[in-house]
Amino acid sequence: MKIQLLGTGGYHPSDVRQTASFLLPEAGIALDAGTGIYRLPAAMQTEDLHLFLSHPHWDHIIGLTYLYVPLLTGQIRSVTLYGNAHTFAAISTHLFAEPTFSHMPDFQFVLLEDLSESKVELNGVQVSWQPLPSHPGGSTAYLLEDGRSRFAYVTDTFVDGSYHELIQEVDLLIHECYFSDELSEWAEKTGHSYLSQVASLARDCRVKQLLLTHIDPRENEESPWDLTAAREIFPLVDFARDQTLIQLPGN
Ligand SMILES: [Zn+2]
Ligand SMILES: [Zn+2]
């Protein structure tokens, strides 16, 4: 399984990070449509795109407007969106609306609520999901498995103990970490996570590797915090970086 990191920042772009978007180029599966998705057409290796959305905050959906031209010109043949009813309602009511962006591209919509057992199989990859309750309006965690490796994407949540089972022993956990430990008091209030809490989660769930994403964009650096203390909790932790290509297993 290959995973291209298109955007690893939270809230708004910084000099080093676009907002949330990840792509499995060989399978044509993407996660979230933040500003980083402008990089997607060049990285895709399929004609059709299956795009799973965590929730409808702007930093996760604004890039849907960037898919208008690639669809119009045929650079991408089709885009199927997967999300919950709350997310789809926000996209059609607030994102593609007069006068900000009147032309909704020809997306196909698949409601997560309509898929039985909360999973779907696409191009040899099984995608399953779970609602995350600890973020304003909620979010959705995803698990992707191709028979050889398992990868979980968890963003916009406080570490609340509700999704331990989903991410148990994955080869790679890409988890949000908006705050350093210095600002940990803000995490629960805002529905986000902080460093030592995410490292402890990775240890407790016995994941193989942890990459931190959805970093506070005021931290305008590739490596904003010293990870020494976090690595005492969980050694294989690092910052997710835009434009990195991950190969699982191995890497
Ligand atoms: Zn966000
Ligand atoms: Zn959010």
Instruction: Name the domain count of the chain.
Output: 1
Q: Give the domain CATH number at 208.
A: 3.60.15.10
In the prediction, which pLDDT does 251 show? 44
Closest CA to 144 of 161, 132, 130, 164: 130
Residue 116 has a pLDDT of 85
Provide the CA 128 distance to its chain's centre, in angstroms: 13
- Tell me the C-alpha distance between 202 and 176, whole Å: 12
248 and 172 in contact (C-beta within 8 Å)?
yes
Give the domain extent around 181: 2-247
Averages of pLDDT over runs of 10 residues in the chain (251 residues) are: 98 98 98 98 97 98 97 97 97 94 94 93 97 96 97 98 97 98 96 98 98 97 96 98 92 44
pTM of the model: 0.97
| 155 CA to centre of ligand 2 in angstroms | 8
Ligand 2 centre and the CA of 147: distance in Å?
31
* Ligand lying closest to the C-alpha of residue 157: 2
Which residues keep their CB under 5 angstroms from ion ligand 1?
Answer: 57, 59, 156
According to DSSP H, which parts of 73-226 are helical?
A: 85-90, 164-167, 185-190, 195-204
Q: Which residues pair with 176 in a beta bridge?
A: 213
